[in-house]
Amino acid sequence: MRITTKGRYALKAILFLAVNAQGSPISIKDIASAEKVSPEFLEQLFFKLKKAGIITSVRGPGGGFSLNRPLEEVTVKEIFDAVGEGLDLTPCTSCSDNVPVCTEADECLTYDVWKAAADQIQGYFSSLTLRMILEGKARQFWDPTPKDTVSA
């Protein structure tokens, strides 16, 4: 799995809004300049983020974009989903309409390995909110220690 430019830039731009909006919208031009992203690329991402209800826009002079929901209600997974960023670890763990694509999952010895890892990744990004990132808790809140460890 690799987070692409659209996922990384969408998250950076949303965090820029979270830090700098202060109740007034920010233009694509200002965000693009600050984040060193093409305004055209950012427009494509913001169209999708707006459609998903993560951001809102105001037209005209003084217009721009701002967050549509509180920081603690927006997860990184929502942002990734909105811009079409896949979080599939392997092709066999991807789903179509919540049905695994893999037709050999029942017979495959490695399927459970990939599925467990994919579930951890999905869980992390589903739990990580903008508020947590801004508070510096992106690493702290997730406990990577397996809960079902057997001691010898």
Query: Residue 9 forms beta bridges with which residues?
Result: none
Could you identify the residue written with the tokens 């965000």?
31
Q: Distance between CA 32 and CA 12 in Å, rounded?
A: 10
Give the per-residue pLDDT at 53: 95
Would residue 115 count as lying in a domain?
Answer: yes
151 in a structural domain:
no
Q: Are 137 and 112 in contact (CB under 8 A)?
A: no
Q: Within a domain: residue 149?
A: no
Residue 15 lies in a domain: yes
What pLDDT score does 137 carry?
82
Mean pLDDT by 10 residues, the chain (152 residues): 88 94 87 92 95 92 89 95 86 68 78 87 92 86 57 52
CA distances to 43, 90, 94, 121, 127 from 116, rounded to whole Å, are 35, 11, 12, 9, 16
Report yes or no on 152 lying in a domain: no
CA distance 112 to 46: 36
Question: What's the domain count of the chain?
Answer: 1
So what's the pLDDT on residue 99? 64
Distances (CA, A) of 59 to 38, 44, 69, 87, 152: 20, 16, 19, 33, 64
What's the pTM value of the predicted model, to 2 decimals?
0.83
Whole-number pLDDT of residue 114: 86
- Residue 73 has a pLDDT of 95
Instruction: Tell me the CATH number at 41.
Output: 1.10.10.10
Is residue 146 included in any domain, yes or no? Answer: no
Residue 124 located in a structural domain: yes
**Residue at token pair 């965090």:** 15
Residues 6+ apart with CB under 8 A from 143: none
Let me know if residue 65 belongs to a domain: yes
Which pLDDT value is given to residue 112? 85
Q: Provide the domain limits for residue 48.
A: 5-134
